[in-house]
Amino acid sequence: MTGFVLALTSASSAQEVTAEQGAERVVEAESVDADASVAAIRVPDMTFCQLYDLRQHGRVGSVVGLALATTSWNVGTADLMWFQSPDPRHPFIVQNLYRIEADRFEQIGQSWIKHGFFALDDEQCGVPCTYEEGHSRGSWLGVGCTDTYRSELNANTIVLGPREEVNPWTAEWTYAGSHLSTSHSHDGVEGIDHRLQVHDDDLDPGLHATAQYFAEGFYIVGDDLDVMNNASWKPVTVTGTPGGTWTFGMSGEFSAPTIGFAIDAWEGASQTIMAEEIPVSEAESPDGRAVLASKVTDLGGGLWHYEYAMLNIDLSRKGCGFSVPIDPDTTVTNIGFHAPESHGESYSNTPWTMEVSDSCPGGGQCVRWSTTDNNPLRWGTLYNFRFDADVGPAGGVVAGSATPASTVTLGLCEPGGPMTLSATAIGPIAPGEIPTVSQWGIVVMVLLLATAASVLITRRRIVCSA
């Protein structure tokens, strides 16, 4: 495949796909010049037609098991493989729940993988469903075709497996020795195993009166054109009480979801891609990507709060460390970390260690987080890093928005390439940083004022002498 430049959007400009837009995308290859290799661009492209019906499917103590309904849609130019397990050539579907509160974007729940099976030939998004010669429903999702898994199907534990079994970049999965290959039974309607698990305390309106919630679906598809449109999200309202059955308000199946990842709902945050190769080219780059969103808040009294949300989309080598450079004279307080709870996999839920360190990428001092107990930042998962500092952002603040000017680093867990990835994000002024245009503007203004004051004093002295 050829490379594609990834355009990240804020919530205010996030993409919503209508039937008309989908039809354009399905037939856009027809406008390619006749001299071009049409075969070279015939690829499937899965996106979302629908996302709806978040429901509770069981409770164990203070933890509930949830599931969404998802409708996939092939807007590409070739049929998409959908072969049922034990064949690995099928989509891997995960569901996530996020919360915005106190201007922090956090993931509060995640599901295991739903292994896709038997693609339908529906036309729920108003585009004709067609197949290549020799293909049909079941093992293929044809061009323009849609396939829905109701909430009950996405909650069915018979077809749920651990995320750690799938390589998100290559979509490789091996049936032999997998969870699905072992003897396991349906947990029943009251079970929560492997479903989107969330704690009552993360939903309780009494504890989170001003919170906003967002549900997200995400498909890993091996032969897909563009991972960045394989996810979608919608706002969700929550009602109920701990210990009971939660009710989730969500727009219906005929209301299009926002295409992309729910991190786009965090308004005002600066986003950047962290990857070994940018732009990331599907099936050609050495690995996938993470998205880092960063934000700074002036707390007053000379203090600033720095907030980071790191979403691993399909970075197979996982994240094991994160650092933000600081000046040695900077006072850092309230270092924090947040991660959603892992359930049923081999990973730990031990929080990352947090410290101000002298052992930093590139030397100098930094605020550093790292995991020493098998709790890496895995694909389809979002971790948070935060701290307060008595130094403002390196890029300055213009019209209430900070400019990314700090070089932050993500440490990777596994060999196979560089062990760190760097990106420019919002962060405090560190040694050696050159002032930005906005900062130079402040400096020039101060100098001009000082010069004007000096001239005024000189004139007064001349008048007095006269």
Q: Residue 430 has what pLDDT?
A: 85
Are residues 382 and 344 part of one domain?
yes
Are residues 120 and 199 part of one domain?
yes
- Give the C-alpha separation, 112 to 161, whole Å: 6
Instruction: Count up the domains in the chain and report the number.
Output: 3
Question: For tokens 């072992």, what's the residue?
Answer: 182
Are residues 143 and 180 part of one domain?
yes
pLDDT, tens only, 40-85: 578 999 999 999 999 999 999 999 999 999 999 999 999 999 999 9
% pLDDT > 70, the chain:
82
- Whether 455 shows a pLDDT value over 90: the answer reads no
- Give the C-alpha separation, 82 to 119, whole Å: 6
Are residues 166 and 28 part of one domain?
yes
Burial, 239: exposed, middle or buried (Cβ in 10 Å; 0-12, 13-18, 19+)?
exposed
Are residues 256 and 320 part of one domain?
no
The whole domain housing 343 covers 289-434
In a domain, 64, yes or no: yes
In a domain, 455, yes or no: yes
- 323 with 310: CB under 8 angstroms? no
Which CATH number do you get for residue 371? Answer: 2.60.40.1170
Q: Residue 42 has what pLDDT?
A: 85
- Give the C-alpha separation, 174 to 45, whole Å: 23
Please give the DSSP secondary-structure letter assigned to residue 167: B
In a domain, 3, yes or no: no
Exposure b/e, 386-411, CB count within 10 A at least 16 = b:
bbbbebbbbbbbeeeebbbbbbbbbb
Structure tokens at 108: 């509060």
Q: Residue 458 has what pLDDT?
A: 44
pLDDT, tens only, 354-377: 999 999 998 899 999 999 889 999
Are residues 444 and 425 part of one domain?
no
Structure tokens at 76: 């590409």
Question: 402: pLDDT confidence band, cut at 50, 70 and 90?
Answer: confident
Picking from 210, 79, 220, the residue whose alpha carbon sits closest to that of residue 136 is: 79
- 160 with 195: CB under 8 angstroms? yes
In a domain, 279, yes or no: no
> Residue 293 contacts by C-beta under 8 Å, 6 or more apart in sequence?
105, 263, 266, 269, 270, 271, 308, 309, 310, 311
Picking from 455, 432, 429, the residue whose alpha carbon sits closest to that of residue 442 is: 429
Are residues 144 and 86 part of one domain?
yes
The mean predicted confidence, pLDDT, of the chain is 87
Q: Indicate the residue type of 188.
A: G
In a domain, 276, yes or no: no
- 82 with 248: CB under 8 angstroms? no
Q: Residue 283 has what pLDDT?
A: 82
Q: Residue 9 has what pLDDT?
A: 33
Q: What average pLDDT does range 22-31 have in this prediction?
A: 44
Question: 432: pLDDT confidence band, cut at 50, 70 and 90?
Answer: low
In a domain, 160, yes or no: yes
Are residues 232 and 300 part of one domain?
no
Structure tokens at 113: 């993988």
Residues in the chain: 466
Are residues 310 and 192 part of one domain?
no
Structure tokens at 36: 């071009």
Question: 399: pLDDT confidence band, cut at 50, 70 and 90?
Answer: low
Question: 190: pLDDT confidence band, cut at 50, 70 and 90?
Answer: low
In a domain, 282, yes or no: no
Q: What average pLDDT does range 304-318 have in this prediction?
A: 98
Structure tokens at 32: 């390619």
- Whether 28 shows a pLDDT value over 90: the answer reads no
Are residues 293 and 209 part of one domain?
no
301 alpha carbon, distance to own chain's centre: 33
188 or 395, higher pLDDT: 395
- Whether 27 shows a pLDDT value over 70: the answer reads no
Picking from 73, 80, 93, 233, the residue whose alpha carbon sits closest to that of residue 153 is: 93
Question: 184: pLDDT confidence band, cut at 50, 70 and 90?
Answer: low
- Whether 34 shows a pLDDT value over 90: the answer reads no
Q: Indicate the residue type of 411.
A: G
pLDDT, tens only, 244-292: 999 999 999 999 999 999 999 999 999 999 999 999 999 899 999 999 9
Q: Which sign does the torsion angle of CA 375, 263, 236, 71 carry?
A: negative
Question: 172: pLDDT confidence band, cut at 50, 70 and 90?
Answer: very high
Picking from 95, 90, 44, 89, the residue whose alpha carbon sits closest to that of residue 70 is: 95
- Give the C-alpha separation, 410 to 394, whole Å: 19
pLDDT, tens only, 148-168: 999 999 999 999 999 999 999
> What does the DSSP assignment read for 376-397?
-B-TTEEEEEEEEESS-BTT-E
- Whether 310 shows a pLDDT value over 70: the answer reads yes
- Whether 395 shows a pLDDT value over 60: the answer reads yes
Are residues 449 and 354 part of one domain?
no
Q: What average pLDDT does range 179-203 have in this prediction?
A: 82
Query: Helical H runs in 132-266?
Result: 151-154
